[in-house]
Amino acid sequence: MNKFRRLFISLHACIVGFVKGCRPLIFLDGTHIKKKFKGCILSAVTKDANDDLFTLAFAVVEAENDANWEWLCLKLRRVLEMQNCVAFSHFTFFSDRHSGLVKAIPGIFTGSPHSYCLRHLVDNFRRQILKKYPLHNKKHWESIFQKAAYAATENEFIGHITSIIKSMPLAEEFIKSSEPENWANCLFSGKRWCIINNNQAECWNSWIKPARFLPIVAMVDSIRVQIMNMMNNRRESSLVMAGNLCPKPENNLLRNYTKSRNLKVDRSSSWIFEVLDGDKRCAVDLEKWSCSCRTWNLNGIPCNYTKSQDMQGSNVTARWGYFCRYSLS
């Protein structure tokens, strides 16, 4: 007897839009179809130039399992190869650490970094470790775990992890087995602009929630229309944008510029500066696009230390304009 198994959809406009206008980040997640229409929707979404939700592909399957995730990854690889994306090492994948994705991503997208969602890790930390220490302040230790994940330097990371293990020895094995190189900022080998959660995929699941109550054919068409309307609305909004940057990155740069006004700067060379912020000193190298605070390196956005008033000058200002246009791509 013929039986529906699975369906993969990636619209041409979504593929081209991702390759030409989005960051190389792919968020993967699954969500259930509602009511009597059983099954799951697996999604691959990303962020556009304004840090907003952008759909790359989705699939309707009978269940979220290892075989279906492998199948979706193979399909996703094929559509990317059609756009001449054959070197996958610059793509960063995000997931909730589903076993199917842990197996499929390294095999299908060789060399691609795989980032584990911090929110799911904190949930596991609460259930597997904090539950065994009922007298501990759960919110406090959850925040320490999150600080370790966001730490920009290895010393900061080690400090937070050490405090957790000293207070809860059972946490040591949990942390080792969780593969910190896949979730800690200071250890992560890929580029993810300091994004550490799989929220983008969760937002997509909520965005299509009304469609998940429909029969499969109607559901797929409803999602198609949603994507079409979103892309048209973004297109119309972009027509009135001024300047080289989208509004959100531009606001981030403006905020950093405002913070920089009271900093003291000493020049070492044309491109190298030492910035004093109270008791904190940072070395800024505009030639290498780096700051010793590592915020620039992690976020991909020049931090407040790189735009101090004392760095003004024709060469530095021109260099800054170059960063504004290209360092966010």
CATH code for the domain of 91: 3.30.420
Distance of CA 59 to the CA centre of its chain: 21
- Answer whether residue 207 is part of any domain: yes
Q: Are residues 25 and 80 in the same domain?
A: yes
Q: Are residues 258 and 142 in the same domain?
A: no
Q: Are residues 70 and 172 in the same domain?
A: no
Q: Per residue in 29-84, pLDDT tens?
A: 999 998 777 899 999 999 998 999 999 999 999 999 999 999 999 999 999 999 88
Beta bridge partners of 29: 43
- Answer whether residue 190 is part of any domain: no
Q: Are residues 148 and 286 in the same domain?
A: no
DSSP for residue 22: B
Range of the domain at 47: 6-115+197-238
Q: Are residues 109 and 57 in the same domain?
A: yes
- Residue 177 clears pLDDT 90, i.e. is over it: yes
**Which residue has better confidence, 195 or 256?**
195
Tally Cβ neighbours within 10 Å of residue 134: 7
- Answer whether residue 311 is part of any domain: yes
Mean pLDDT for the chain?
88
Whether 193 and 161 have beta carbons less than 8 Å apart is answered as no
Q: Are residues 301 and 322 in the same domain?
A: yes
* Residue 73 to residue 78: CA distance in whole angstroms: 9
Q: Per residue in 247-286, pLDDT tens?
A: 888 888 888 888 877 888 888 887 888 888 888 888 988 8
Nearest of 3, 61, 7 to residue 29 by alpha carbon: 61
β-pairing, 25-32 with 92-95? Answer: parallel
- Answer whether residue 192 is part of any domain: no
Whether 129 and 121 have beta carbons less than 8 Å apart is answered as no
Q: Are residues 156 and 303 in the same domain?
A: no
Q: Are residues 107 and 203 in the same domain?
A: yes
Nearest of 133, 113, 140 to residue 174 by alpha carbon: 133
* Residue 137 to residue 159: CA distance in whole angstroms: 19
Whether 260 and 308 have beta carbons less than 8 Å apart is answered as yes
- Answer whether residue 231 is part of any domain: yes
- Answer whether residue 150 is part of any domain: yes
Rg of the Cα trace of the chain? 22
Q: Are residues 301 and 251 in the same domain?
A: yes
- Answer whether residue 188 is part of any domain: no
SS3 label, residue 207: helix
Nearest of 181, 301, 325, 214 to residue 253 by alpha carbon: 301
Q: Are residues 29 and 86 in the same domain?
A: yes
- Answer whether residue 46 is part of any domain: yes
Residue 133 exposed, middle or buried by CB count within 10 Å (0-12, 13-18, 19+): middle
How many structural domains is the chain composed of?
A: 3
**Which residue has better confidence, 237 or 289?**
237
Q: Are residues 91 and 127 in the same domain?
A: no
Q: Are residues 142 and 233 in the same domain?
A: no
